[in-house]
Amino acid sequence: MSGGNDLFRKSASYLVMSTIVAVPYVALVSLATTLLRPGLILPVLIPLLIVLILALHPIWNRVQNRVHKCFYQQRYNFLKNLESFNQEVHSISDIGNFGSSIVELLNQALEDTHISLLLLTESQDYNAIATTEGSSANVNIKRNNPVIKWLKLNMKLLRDHEINLIPQLQALTDKQKKQIENIELFAPLITPSNEMVGILLLGPQKSGRKYDQSDEQLITTITKRVSIELENARLYNLEKGMRKELETQDEQKTEFLYSIAHELKTPLAAIISSSELLSGEISARSNHREENLIRNVSRSAWWMNKRVTELLDLAKLEISTIELNLAPVNIGSVIKDIASRLFYVFKNKGQTLKTQLPKGLPKVNGDLERLEQIMFNLLSNANKYSPTDSVIMLHVVQNNSRVVVEVEDAGPSVSDQDKKRIFEPYYRGSDYDMIKRLPGLSLGLAICKKLVIQHQGEIWVTPKHQRGNIFSFSIPIHKPETPANKKK
């Protein structure tokens, strides 16, 4: 019956089109026949009539297009909207808006009384995310409904009149029937992995006609495309939710780390100051045994304080609470100062620290305290990993608008695997024997990287061929303010 309706519409359109074009065509042919009778030959009008007859061919095409558009206006509108829909569908991130677009698009093409788009929920039921105006917003079908089971099994369109013919659907309860009342067509949304992620429910058409084959082909085409995009949107939202959860957990971990480190700083400061005072009193009594014990307490507390400070600095950098006090800094003076402080550290291990500072080195734009921290961490790292009796070199060069500092150690060459992760917090390399021998939290290089980046600089490591590595970082040169800069 529906196929007959479609045939009737097509026949009617061509009848109208033929009438519009054929009437003037027949009139012209009749006129030409009359003029060509013996004695009524009009040579001048004959070419004109032939031209007019030939001109009717493009007119026929134009009239055909106009009549088609008149009889199939909703199809024209649908194709236009479908083109727009195809251009936007790849940028979907909001499933609700996406579902509303689908429902509105199909409603324009089919002129249904109501359309609902249902999606699979965590409870395996199917709830509506979008409906046409006037439809119930609480449309849902429970997972135990036989219609759901049939659609999942057969993965094809289900028509309302087939419900009374399919044996598996005869077990519908009154409540289940109520869930699907006034629905003429059930269109499952099947993903490429054969999962039914949703259902499109279509009510009767406003014209009263039944869905014909062309309607079903249209719906099938749309559902295939929609299924893929809905799956993409679902996976996008799932990934987005997981990423948000991981970010929240990471923030909580950083805040916890900050709180613990902050809480440990106060008692450690008291231990260090008390042990120093106690050491001075015992030294006055010349009790070497007690003095050594107090020195051990003080040294251990100092190292523990250093580790806690590293944790605190890392936590501050993670939650972006460190503010740099940028000013012109003499990087040469910073290097000399840190090298002087660490002189005995290198000497106690039998190492030699050599520095090469060019004359006329420009000042850098940096935070003095944080630049000292970067230098201290890099030199401490070189001291830690370089063997006894080795030489550690410190070079400074100017490279265009930046100053580059290089710390060349004599430790084991960093492997390609370690090179990718050496500036990550807590990463201690892939050499497990060395990890056991050398204590620490491995936060120094990670803190260096974060501080260098805050200075708008870069940091990297270059392994040497046989042994040793060059840890380098760059800092922008300070540019004095000029009237032109101030205007900017």
Q: Are residues 61 and 32 in the same domain?
A: yes
How large a percentage of the chain has pLDDT more than 70? 63
pLDDT at 261: 65
Q: Is 479 helix (H, G, I), strand (E, B) or coil?
A: coil
Buried b (16+ CB within 10 A) or exposed e, 17-31: beebbeeebeebeee
State the Rg of the chain over Cα: 41
| pLDDT classification of 458: cutoffs 50, 70, 90 | very high
Rounded Cα distance, 151 and 157, in Å? 8
Q: Are residues 67 and 87 in the same domain?
A: no
* Sheet containing strand 158-159, strands side by side: 140-141, 126-131, 115-120, 196-202, 185-190, 158-159
Q: Are residues 202 and 289 in the same domain?
A: no
- The structure tokens listed for 26 are 């027949």
The two beta strands, 391-399 and 352-356, are parallel
pLDDT tens sequence across 150-184: 999 999 999 988 988 898 888 888 888 887 888 89
Q: Which among 71, 90, 118 is the end of a domain?
A: 71
Residue 488 lies in a domain: no
Q: Which of 207-221, 331-345, 463-477 has the lowest mean pLDDT?
A: 207-221
Q: Are residues 11 and 62 in the same domain?
A: yes
Q: Are residues 36 and 156 in the same domain?
A: no
| pLDDT classification of 3: cutoffs 50, 70, 90 | very low
Q: pLDDT at residue 363 above 90?
A: yes
Q: pLDDT at residue 444 above 60?
A: yes
Burial of residue 394 (CB within 10 Å: 0-12, 13-18, 19+) is buried
* Residues 6+ away with beta carbon under 8 Å from 440: 307, 384, 428
Rounded Cα distance, 310 and 144, in Å? 58
| pLDDT classification of 328: cutoffs 50, 70, 90 | very high
- Name the more confident of 285 and 466: 466
Q: Are residues 53 and 105 in the same domain?
A: no
- CA angle 51/59/12 to nearest 5° reads 135
Q: Which among 71, 88, 110 is the end of a domain?
A: 71
User: Which residue, 153, 115, 118, is CA-closest to 131?
Assistant: 115
| pLDDT classification of 410: cutoffs 50, 70, 90 | very high
Average per-residue pLDDT for the chain: 76
pLDDT at 483: 57
pLDDT at 172: 86
| pLDDT classification of 4: cutoffs 50, 70, 90 | very low
Average pLDDT score over residue span 459-486 = 84
Q: Are residues 356 and 448 in the same domain?
A: yes
Q: Is the dihedral of CA 413, 417, 422, 425 positive or negative?
A: negative
| pLDDT classification of 93: cutoffs 50, 70, 90 | low
CA atoms within 13 A on the CB side of 137: 3
Q: Are residues 372 and 251 in the same domain?
A: no
Q: Are residues 162 and 175 in the same domain?
A: yes
Residue 359 lies in a domain: yes
- Name the more confident of 91 and 401: 401
Q: pLDDT at residue 479 above 60?
A: yes
pLDDT at 323: 82
CA atoms within 13 A on the CB side of 47: 2
User: Which residue, 314, 332, 447, 457, is CA-closest to 380?
Assistant: 447
How large a percentage of the chain has pLDDT more than 90? 20
Strongest mean pLDDT among 20-24, 40-44, 119-123, 262-266: 119-123
- Name the more confident of 152 and 81: 152
Burial of residue 353 (CB within 10 Å: 0-12, 13-18, 19+) is buried
Rounded Cα distance, 166 and 171, in Å? 10
Rounded Cα distance, 198 and 201, in Å? 10
Q: Is 206 helix (H, G, I), strand (E, B) or coil?
A: coil
* Residues 6+ away with beta carbon under 8 Å from 387: 410, 411
Q: Which among 38, 71, 104 is the end of a domain?
A: 71
Q: Are residues 161 and 228 in the same domain?
A: yes
Q: Are residues 82 and 211 in the same domain?
A: yes
Helices within 167-287 (DSSP H only): 174-179, 213-285
Q: Are residues 475 and 336 in the same domain?
A: yes
Total tally of structural domains belonging to the chain: 4
Q: Which domain holds residue 81?
A: 75-235
Asked whether 279 and 295 are in contact (CB, 8 A), the reply is yes
